[in-house]
Amino acid sequence: MTLEALKRKIDTAKDLQSVVKTMKAMAAVSIRQYEKAVASLTEYNRTLEMGIQILLKNRPESLAGMKPVPTNCLGIVVFGSDQGMCGQFNERIAEFALQQINSLESLPNNRIVLTVGTRIRDRLEAAGQRSERCFIVPGSIAGIAPIVQETVLTLEEWRRERQIDQILVFNNRPISSSIYSPHQQQIFPINIPWLQQLQQKKWTSRTLPTFTMSQERLISAVFRQHFFVSLYRACCESLASENASRLASMQIAEKNIQERLAELQAEFNHQRQTIITEELLDIVSGFESVRQP
Protein backbone atom coordinates (compact mmCIF):
# COMPACT_ATOMS: atom_id res chain seq x y z
CA MET A 1 0.00 0.00 0.00
CA THR A 2 1.32 3.46 -0.92
CA LEU A 3 1.94 6.25 1.55
CA GLU A 4 -0.92 8.26 0.00
CA ALA A 5 -3.37 5.39 0.54
CA LEU A 6 -2.21 4.94 4.14
CA LYS A 7 -2.57 8.67 4.77
CA ARG A 8 -6.14 8.59 3.46
CA LYS A 9 -6.96 5.66 5.73
CA ILE A 10 -5.46 7.44 8.73
CA ASP A 11 -7.47 10.60 7.98
CA THR A 12 -10.67 8.57 7.61
CA ALA A 13 -10.04 6.79 10.91
CA LYS A 14 -9.44 10.13 12.66
CA ASP A 15 -12.70 11.53 11.24
CA LEU A 16 -14.55 8.45 12.44
CA GLN A 17 -12.89 8.77 15.84
CA SER A 18 -14.16 12.36 16.07
CA VAL A 19 -17.72 11.25 15.24
CA VAL A 20 -17.57 8.48 17.85
CA LYS A 21 -16.36 10.90 20.53
CA THR A 22 -19.22 13.27 19.70
CA MET A 23 -21.78 10.46 19.90
CA LYS A 24 -20.31 9.34 23.23
CA ALA A 25 -20.69 12.84 24.66
CA MET A 26 -24.26 13.18 23.36
CA ALA A 27 -25.25 9.78 24.77
CA ALA A 28 -23.80 10.60 28.19
CA VAL A 29 -25.68 13.92 28.32
CA SER A 30 -28.93 12.29 27.17
CA ILE A 31 -28.72 9.58 29.83
CA ARG A 32 -28.57 12.21 32.56
CA GLN A 33 -31.53 14.13 31.12
CA TYR A 34 -33.77 11.06 30.99
CA GLU A 35 -32.71 10.00 34.49
CA LYS A 36 -33.76 13.44 35.76
CA ALA A 37 -37.09 13.09 33.94
CA VAL A 38 -37.77 9.77 35.73
CA ALA A 39 -36.88 11.34 39.08
CA SER A 40 -39.26 14.25 38.43
CA LEU A 41 -42.20 11.82 38.26
CA THR A 42 -41.90 11.00 41.97
CA GLU A 43 -43.96 13.97 43.18
CA TYR A 44 -46.44 13.61 40.32
CA ASN A 45 -46.96 9.95 41.20
CA ARG A 46 -47.40 10.83 44.89
CA THR A 47 -50.18 13.27 43.98
CA LEU A 48 -51.87 10.59 41.89
CA GLU A 49 -51.70 8.10 44.76
CA MET A 50 -53.31 10.65 47.07
CA GLY A 51 -56.12 11.12 44.56
CA ILE A 52 -56.71 7.37 44.38
CA GLN A 53 -56.64 7.19 48.19
CA ILE A 54 -59.31 9.90 48.46
CA LEU A 55 -61.46 8.06 45.93
CA LEU A 56 -61.17 4.77 47.80
CA LYS A 57 -61.87 6.30 51.22
CA ASN A 58 -64.93 8.25 50.07
CA ARG A 59 -66.26 5.54 47.77
CA PRO A 60 -64.98 2.14 48.96
CA GLU A 61 -67.28 0.43 46.48
CA SER A 62 -65.27 1.97 43.61
CA LEU A 63 -62.60 -0.69 44.24
CA ALA A 64 -64.87 -3.25 42.61
CA GLY A 65 -65.10 -1.07 39.51
CA MET A 66 -61.34 -1.28 39.03
CA LYS A 67 -61.51 -5.03 38.47
CA PRO A 68 -62.03 -5.73 34.76
CA VAL A 69 -64.25 -8.50 33.45
CA PRO A 70 -61.94 -11.28 32.19
CA THR A 71 -61.91 -11.48 28.39
CA ASN A 72 -58.46 -13.01 27.82
CA CYS A 73 -57.68 -10.12 25.50
CA LEU A 74 -54.16 -8.76 26.03
CA GLY A 75 -52.80 -5.30 25.23
CA ILE A 76 -49.02 -4.99 24.85
CA VAL A 77 -46.76 -1.93 24.63
CA VAL A 78 -43.09 -2.43 23.70
CA PHE A 79 -40.51 0.38 23.70
CA GLY A 80 -37.55 0.14 21.35
CA SER A 81 -35.60 2.48 19.06
CA ASP A 82 -35.70 4.05 15.61
CA GLN A 83 -31.94 4.53 15.33
CA GLY A 84 -29.10 2.05 15.13
CA MET A 85 -25.63 1.95 16.67
CA CYS A 86 -27.05 0.89 20.03
CA GLY A 87 -25.75 -2.65 20.33
CA GLN A 88 -28.21 -5.40 21.27
CA PHE A 89 -30.77 -2.92 22.63
CA ASN A 90 -33.70 -3.94 20.38
CA GLU A 91 -32.76 -7.61 20.22
CA ARG A 92 -32.77 -7.99 24.01
CA ILE A 93 -36.15 -6.36 24.64
CA ALA A 94 -37.74 -8.15 21.66
CA GLU A 95 -36.52 -11.54 22.85
CA PHE A 96 -37.65 -10.84 26.42
CA ALA A 97 -41.09 -9.56 25.37
CA LEU A 98 -41.76 -12.51 23.05
CA GLN A 99 -40.69 -14.97 25.72
CA GLN A 100 -43.03 -13.41 28.30
CA ILE A 101 -45.94 -13.02 25.87
CA ASN A 102 -45.73 -16.60 24.63
CA SER A 103 -45.76 -17.89 28.20
CA LEU A 104 -49.21 -16.35 28.79
CA GLU A 105 -52.52 -18.10 28.15
CA SER A 106 -53.82 -15.55 25.65
CA LEU A 107 -54.07 -16.74 22.06
CA PRO A 108 -52.14 -14.88 19.33
CA ASN A 109 -55.43 -13.58 17.89
CA ASN A 110 -56.26 -12.02 21.27
CA ARG A 111 -53.08 -9.95 21.45
CA ILE A 112 -52.99 -6.30 20.42
CA VAL A 113 -49.49 -4.85 20.17
CA LEU A 114 -48.39 -1.21 20.13
CA THR A 115 -44.71 -0.48 19.52
CA VAL A 116 -42.68 2.68 20.05
CA GLY A 117 -39.81 2.47 17.58
CA THR A 118 -39.68 1.09 14.05
CA ARG A 119 -36.74 -1.21 14.77
CA ILE A 120 -38.50 -3.01 17.62
CA ARG A 121 -41.60 -3.31 15.41
CA ASP A 122 -39.53 -4.95 12.70
CA ARG A 123 -37.95 -7.34 15.21
CA LEU A 124 -41.32 -8.44 16.58
CA GLU A 125 -42.92 -8.84 13.16
CA ALA A 126 -39.93 -10.85 11.92
CA ALA A 127 -40.65 -13.22 14.83
CA GLY A 128 -44.34 -13.48 13.84
CA GLN A 129 -45.87 -10.94 16.25
CA ARG A 130 -47.71 -8.21 14.33
CA SER A 131 -47.71 -4.64 15.65
CA GLU A 132 -51.05 -2.89 15.16
CA ARG A 133 -49.76 0.62 15.95
CA CYS A 134 -46.24 2.05 15.85
CA PHE A 135 -45.11 5.45 17.11
CA ILE A 136 -41.81 7.18 16.39
CA VAL A 137 -39.43 7.32 19.36
CA PRO A 138 -39.23 10.90 20.72
CA GLY A 139 -35.90 12.57 20.16
CA SER A 140 -35.96 14.76 23.26
CA ILE A 141 -37.62 15.23 26.66
CA ALA A 142 -40.15 17.63 25.11
CA GLY A 143 -41.28 14.96 22.66
CA ILE A 144 -42.10 12.30 25.25
CA ALA A 145 -45.39 13.70 26.55
CA PRO A 146 -47.15 13.90 23.12
CA ILE A 147 -46.17 10.30 22.28
CA VAL A 148 -47.29 9.06 25.70
CA GLN A 149 -50.59 10.90 25.38
CA GLU A 150 -51.22 9.27 22.00
CA THR A 151 -50.40 5.90 23.53
CA VAL A 152 -52.78 6.49 26.45
CA LEU A 153 -55.61 7.44 24.09
CA THR A 154 -54.96 4.32 22.02
CA LEU A 155 -55.04 2.08 25.11
CA GLU A 156 -58.25 3.74 26.30
CA GLU A 157 -59.79 3.08 22.90
CA TRP A 158 -58.71 -0.57 23.04
CA ARG A 159 -60.19 -0.94 26.53
CA ARG A 160 -63.55 0.46 25.43
CA GLU A 161 -63.94 -1.05 21.99
CA ARG A 162 -61.92 -4.25 22.12
CA GLN A 163 -62.43 -5.15 25.76
CA ILE A 164 -58.80 -5.79 26.68
CA ASP A 165 -58.58 -6.92 30.30
CA GLN A 166 -54.80 -6.74 30.75
CA ILE A 167 -52.10 -4.32 29.57
CA LEU A 168 -48.40 -5.17 29.79
CA VAL A 169 -45.51 -2.78 29.11
CA PHE A 170 -42.04 -3.96 28.08
CA ASN A 171 -39.00 -1.70 28.11
CA ASN A 172 -35.30 -1.71 28.88
CA ARG A 173 -34.51 -0.23 32.30
CA PRO A 174 -31.06 1.29 33.09
CA ILE A 175 -29.02 -0.22 35.90
CA SER A 176 -25.95 2.00 35.54
CA SER A 177 -24.51 4.45 33.03
CA SER A 178 -23.76 1.64 30.56
CA ILE A 179 -25.80 -1.35 31.79
CA TYR A 180 -29.52 -2.03 31.35
CA SER A 181 -31.91 -4.97 31.55
CA PRO A 182 -35.35 -5.83 30.09
CA HIS A 183 -38.30 -5.03 32.33
CA GLN A 184 -42.00 -5.91 32.36
CA GLN A 185 -44.82 -4.19 34.22
CA GLN A 186 -48.59 -4.57 34.29
CA ILE A 187 -50.37 -1.22 34.18
CA PHE A 188 -53.88 -2.65 33.88
CA PRO A 189 -55.62 -3.84 35.90
CA ILE A 190 -54.17 -1.80 38.75
CA ASN A 191 -52.70 -4.01 41.44
CA ILE A 192 -55.63 -4.78 43.77
CA PRO A 193 -53.56 -5.57 46.93
CA TRP A 194 -51.78 -2.23 46.46
CA LEU A 195 -55.14 -0.47 46.15
CA GLN A 196 -56.37 -2.17 49.33
CA GLN A 197 -53.25 -1.05 51.19
CA LEU A 198 -53.76 2.48 49.89
CA GLN A 199 -57.39 2.38 51.02
CA GLN A 200 -56.35 1.41 54.56
CA LYS A 201 -53.45 3.86 54.74
CA LYS A 202 -53.88 6.66 57.28
CA TRP A 203 -54.54 10.09 55.81
CA THR A 204 -51.84 12.64 56.65
CA SER A 205 -54.17 15.46 57.83
CA ARG A 206 -57.33 15.78 59.93
CA THR A 207 -59.47 16.76 56.98
CA LEU A 208 -60.25 14.21 54.27
CA PRO A 209 -60.78 15.88 50.87
CA THR A 210 -63.81 14.90 48.81
CA PHE A 211 -64.92 15.23 45.20
CA THR A 212 -68.08 16.31 43.40
CA MET A 213 -67.61 14.89 39.90
CA SER A 214 -69.18 11.57 38.96
CA GLN A 215 -67.44 8.45 40.22
CA GLU A 216 -67.23 6.95 36.73
CA ARG A 217 -65.51 10.00 35.29
CA LEU A 218 -63.10 10.15 38.20
CA ILE A 219 -62.17 6.47 37.89
CA SER A 220 -61.60 6.98 34.16
CA ALA A 221 -59.38 10.00 34.88
CA VAL A 222 -57.45 8.00 37.49
CA PHE A 223 -56.81 5.22 34.98
CA ARG A 224 -55.69 7.73 32.37
CA GLN A 225 -53.24 9.40 34.74
CA HIS A 226 -51.98 6.04 35.96
CA PHE A 227 -51.35 5.01 32.36
CA PHE A 228 -49.62 8.31 31.63
CA VAL A 229 -47.21 8.14 34.58
CA SER A 230 -46.36 4.46 33.96
CA LEU A 231 -45.80 4.92 30.23
CA TYR A 232 -43.86 8.17 30.65
CA ARG A 233 -41.50 6.46 33.08
CA ALA A 234 -41.14 3.44 30.76
CA CYS A 235 -40.34 5.73 27.81
CA CYS A 236 -37.72 7.68 29.78
CA GLU A 237 -36.14 4.46 31.03
CA SER A 238 -36.07 3.06 27.52
CA LEU A 239 -34.42 6.19 26.12
CA ALA A 240 -31.86 6.20 28.93
CA SER A 241 -31.13 2.52 28.25
CA GLU A 242 -30.83 3.15 24.51
CA ASN A 243 -28.23 5.84 25.12
CA ALA A 244 -26.47 3.62 27.68
CA SER A 245 -26.24 0.89 25.05
CA ARG A 246 -25.04 3.40 22.47
CA LEU A 247 -22.44 4.73 24.91
CA ALA A 248 -21.11 1.20 25.50
CA SER A 249 -21.02 0.55 21.74
CA MET A 250 -19.18 3.81 21.10
CA GLN A 251 -16.63 2.99 23.80
CA ILE A 252 -15.89 -0.32 22.08
CA ALA A 253 -15.77 1.41 18.67
CA GLU A 254 -13.41 4.07 20.02
CA LYS A 255 -11.06 1.41 21.37
CA ASN A 256 -11.08 -0.45 18.03
CA ILE A 257 -10.41 2.78 16.13
CA GLN A 258 -7.50 3.66 18.41
CA GLU A 259 -5.98 0.23 17.84
CA ARG A 260 -6.48 0.51 14.09
CA LEU A 261 -5.00 4.01 14.07
CA ALA A 262 -1.94 2.75 15.92
CA GLU A 263 -1.49 -0.04 13.34
CA LEU A 264 -1.90 2.34 10.39
CA GLN A 265 0.44 4.91 11.91
CA ALA A 266 3.07 2.25 12.60
CA GLU A 267 2.82 0.98 9.01
CA PHE A 268 2.94 4.54 7.68
CA ASN A 269 6.07 5.33 9.72
CA HIS A 270 7.70 2.07 8.64
CA GLN A 271 7.04 2.71 4.96
CA ARG A 272 8.19 6.33 5.18
CA GLN A 273 11.37 5.26 6.95
CA THR A 274 11.92 2.60 4.29
CA ILE A 275 11.53 5.19 1.51
CA ILE A 276 13.89 7.60 3.27
CA THR A 277 16.45 4.82 3.74
CA GLU A 278 16.19 3.82 0.09
CA GLU A 279 16.65 7.45 -1.00
CA LEU A 280 19.71 7.82 1.23
CA LEU A 281 21.19 4.62 -0.17
CA ASP A 282 20.62 5.90 -3.71
CA ILE A 283 22.38 9.16 -2.83
CA VAL A 284 25.29 7.32 -1.25
CA SER A 285 25.54 4.96 -4.22
CA GLY A 286 25.47 7.86 -6.64
CA PHE A 287 28.14 9.68 -4.67
CA GLU A 288 30.35 6.60 -4.59
CA SER A 289 29.98 6.09 -8.32
CA VAL A 290 30.99 9.73 -8.97
CA ARG A 291 34.10 9.39 -6.79
CA GLN A 292 35.33 6.32 -8.63
CA PRO A 293 38.12 7.19 -11.18
Residues 50, 34: Cα–Cα separation, whole Å: 25
pLDDT for the residue numbered 6: 81
CA–CA gap between residue 74 and residue 59 (Å, rounded): 29
Strand order in the sheet with 133-135: 133-135, 111-116, 74-79, 166-174, 180-188
Please report, as a single letter, which amino acid is at residue 85: M
| 225 and 254 both lie in a single domain | no
CATH of the domain at 119: 3.40.1380.10
User: Is residue 224 in a domain?
Assistant: yes
Residue 293 located in a structural domain: no
Given a contact cutoff of 8 angstroms between Cβ atoms, the answer to whether 38 and 237 are in contact is yes
| Mean per-residue pLDDT of the chain | 85
Taking every pair of C-alpha atoms in the chain, what is the biggest distance, in angstroms?
A: 120
Cα–Cα distance for residue pair 205/225, rounded to 1 Å = 24
User: Which pLDDT tens digit goes with each residue over 63-82?
Assistant: 655 666 666 789 999 999 99
DSSP string covering 151-205: HHHHHHHHHHHS---EEEEEEEEESSSS-EEEEEEEEES--HHHHHHHHHSPPSS
Are 93 and 180 within 8 A, CB to CB? no
pLDDT at 87: 84
178 inside domain: yes
Rounded Cα distance between 73 and 163, Å, is 7
Q: What share of the chain in percent tops pLDDT 90?
A: 30
Report the domain count for the chain.
2
Cα gap 218→51, rounded to integer Å: 9
pLDDT digit string (tens) for 105-163? 777 788 999 999 999 999 999 999 999 999 999 988 889 999 999 999 999 899 888 88
Highest-confidence range of 174-178, 241-245, 279-283, 287-291, by mean pLDDT?
241-245
- Structural domain contains residue 292: no
Structural domain boundaries, residue 172:
24-246
61 and 196 share one domain: yes
Tell me whether residue 210 is in a domain.
Answer: yes
HEC letters along 235-280 = HHHHHHHHHHHHHHHHHHHHHHHHHHHHHHHHHHHHHHHHHHHHHH
